[in-house]
Amino acid sequence: MKVVRKNPLTLLEVGIALFIASILITFLLRTYSQIQILDHKIDKTRQEIVQRQHFQKRLHQVFSQIPSASVFVPKEPSLYTEQFPQESTLSLVCFFDNGIDLDPSFSGPILGRLTVIENDLCLLMWPFKKNHSKTHYRKEILLHDIFSIDYEFLGPTDPKYTHARAKKINEDLEWNPHWHKKRKELPSVIRIHLNQKNDLSFAFLLPKEESITYTSSP
């Protein structure tokens, strides 16, 4: 009986096999790395979208509750802008009704300030009570990587204030980059411009207080 011997793999064939395997492994590793990078970008974009949605929702809640808080603080300005010392950006200050909070001192009407601190857009809040210290406050971070913030307020023309940036809408309304503390009325619209890698702009409508007249039936 004749025995057939199999020829062992030559060194050349082994080298070719290893070369092909190395190409496949390199391709798979590169594809996996690209998928990881893409997943990271998707997660980052998703987090940015969630933060922006939270920012819009939170400020809508704040601005919509300004008229409610003004009833409890009639002698205080409901909303105004102010440049605080050692801060490069303008702050937006307002009283708003924070509703029910886990901390009773932050329930109901409170004082809020929207400002940029160390590239974070923050909402600072103080209880509106005389027996609370000014150091007792809460900081809520709304957005990260914010370099500066600008405002535009749409409201009645202020004869005491004119500015080159003010854009008139008609004879009674105009856009102003500031809202003075002495103004009694609220603006109709607030536009907020955020300076970061991609500039963002948001607009918020402010509700107006409506008076209700009761009449007796004849």
Report pLDDT for 214. Answer: 37
> Which pLDDT value is given to residue 218?
46
What per-residue confidence (pLDDT) applies to 18?
87
Structure tokens at 133: 């210290």
As given in the structure block, the two tokens for residue 122 are 């923050």
Residue 116 Ramachandran class (φ > 0 left, ψ -120 to 50 alpha, else beta):
beta
pTM: 0.73
Q: Shortest CA distance to 179 belongs to which of 92, 112, 81, 89?
A: 81
- Which pLDDT does position 6 carry in this prediction? 57
218 membership: H or E segment, kind and range: none
In this prediction, residue 212 carries a pLDDT of: 38
∠53-55-59 over CA atoms, to 5°?
120
d(CA 68, CA 74): 11
User: How distant is the alpha carbon of residue 42 from its chain centre?
Assistant: 20
**Which two structure tokens, joined as six digits, stand for 218?**
């004849």
Residue-level pLDDT at 115: 94
Q: Which residues of the chain have pLDDT under 70?
A: 1-9, 129-135, 158-171, 209-218
101 neighbors 112 (Cβ within 8 angstroms): no
Query: Can you give the pLDDT at residue 1?
Result: 56
Q: What is the pLDDT of residue 59?
A: 95
188 burial type by CB count under 10 A (0-12 exposed, 13-18 middle, 19+ buried): middle
